Amino acid sequence: VAAFSALKRGKEEFMAYQISEKCTKCGACASVCPQEAIAEGPKTYVIDADKCVDCGLCEGECPVEAISAG
């Protein structure tokens, strides 16, 4: 995990994953995120861009394809 934090990338080349309004709040993505970057928001689950390391695990887990690379 420390290795991930050491990977500081420039803002222009690193965009966190994002969750669209298609999210049904099933919670699947949050349970697989190794960074605990995903939490329940008011309308959808939301990804904390400061924690996300762009691993893509959540994208493959979402049953409604609400997650995409930013």
Positions touching ligand SF4 (CB under 6 A) are 17, 19, 23-29, 32-33, 35, 37-38, 44-45, 47, 52-58, 61-62, 64, 66-67
CB of 38 to ligand SF4, least distance (A): 5
Phi first, then psi: give them for residue 26, nearest 5 degrees: -75, -25
Q: Show Cβ contacts of residue 47 under 8 Å, excluding neighbours closer than 6 positions.
A: 16, 17, 18, 19, 37, 38, 58, 67
Nearer residue to ligand SF4 within complex by CB, 10 or 53: 53
Chain-centre distance of CA 61, in angstroms?
11
CB of 23 to ligand SF4, least distance (A): 3
